[in-house]
């Protein structure tokens, strides 16, 4: 694989800052008793970067696109593991420990590179009477990450929860300080923001079962 493939999620994207984007959707995984065991995440890379990846994969001699995507999915998973999968989860405002991803796949869908994976909670958590929040972001804000949306409104399946208990689902927009917006806008094409910058631009998914 080329350098651009092997370092996906850690290497520079192209274009103005942020240097690429990912549209994602979340399914909160619960059992019949309403105990949540993790987040099923589906990420869709932006069309330009997807094109670059697919072109590079098809140029590898003796490797089919499917085989290349299988190898790519492992590389993405391993790189994301070093970054805590770009995910923070809180239960009633307290950080929730996350496990390691063992179920994941990369595929081509509608011309875009799509990466799906299950991020388990270290300990399954009952949701009844509690509120669960999550944020998914590149800490350096090199990549913008937002829920799937149309006309600036989240899609109905951008955040879903099946089964009990009955909970209120919402996606809260980021409200960054204007100085942080300016800081991000001034970054050159080959620069990253300070670690933690991305948190200020992250949407918050909320599952309120109180």
Digitized pLDDT (tens) for each residue of the chain, 210 residues in all: 443 443 444 443 333 456 788 999 999 999 888 999 999 999 999 998 899 899 888 888 888 888 999 999 999 999 999 999 999 999 999 999 999 999 999 999 999 999 999 999 999 999 999 999 999 998 888 888 999 999 888 999 999 997 767 899 999 998 877 676 666 665 655 555 566 677 888 999 999 999
Contact 80, 86 (CB under 8 A): yes
For the CA atoms of 127, 128, 129, 135, what is the dihedral angle to 10 degrees?
A: 20
Please, how many CA atoms are within 13 Å of residue 63, restricted to the half-sphere of its CB? 16
What is the phi-psi region of residue 58: left when phi exceeds 0, alpha when psi lies from -120 to 50, beta otherwise? alpha
Distances (CA, A) of 78 to 6, 30, 137, 199: 10, 26, 17, 22
pLDDT of residue 7: 46
pLDDT of residue 76: 93
Which domain range does residue 92 map to?
A: 3-208
pLDDT of residue 17: 53
* Closest by CA position to 130, among listed 28, 25, 202: 28
User: What phi and psi values does residue 65 have, to the nearest 5 degrees?
Assistant: -60, -40
Total domain count, the chain: 1
What is the phi-psi region of residue 150: left when phi exceeds 0, alpha when psi lies from -120 to 50, beta otherwise? beta
Contact 40, 74 (CB under 8 A): no
């Amino acid at each position: 694989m080329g350098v651009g493939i092997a370092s996906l999620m850690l290497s520079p994207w192209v274009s103005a800052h942020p240097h690429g984007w990912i549209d994602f959707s979340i399914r909160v995984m619960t059992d019949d008793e309403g105990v949540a065991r993790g987040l099923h995440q589906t990420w869709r890379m932006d069309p330009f970067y997807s094109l670059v990846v697919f072109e590079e994969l098809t140029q590898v001699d003796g490797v089919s696109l499917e085989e290349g995507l299988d190898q790519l999915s492992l590389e993405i998973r391993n790189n994301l593991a070093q970054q805590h999968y770009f995910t923070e989860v809180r239960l009633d405002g307290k950080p929730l420990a996350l496990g390691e991803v063992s179920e994941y796949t990369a595929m081509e869908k509608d011309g875009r590179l799509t990466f799906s994976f299950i991020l388990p909670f270290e300990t399954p958590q009952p949701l009844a009477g509690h509120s669960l929040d999550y944020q998914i972001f590149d800490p350096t804000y090199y990549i913008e990450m937002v829920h799937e949306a149309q006309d600036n409104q989240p899609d109905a399946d951008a955040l879903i929860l099946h089964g009990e208990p009955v909970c209120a689902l919402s996606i809260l927009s980021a409200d960054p300080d204007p100085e942080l917006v300016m800081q991000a806008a001034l970054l050159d094409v080959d620069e990253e923001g300070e670690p933690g910058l991305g948190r200020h631009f992250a949407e918050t998914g909320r599952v309120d079962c109180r």
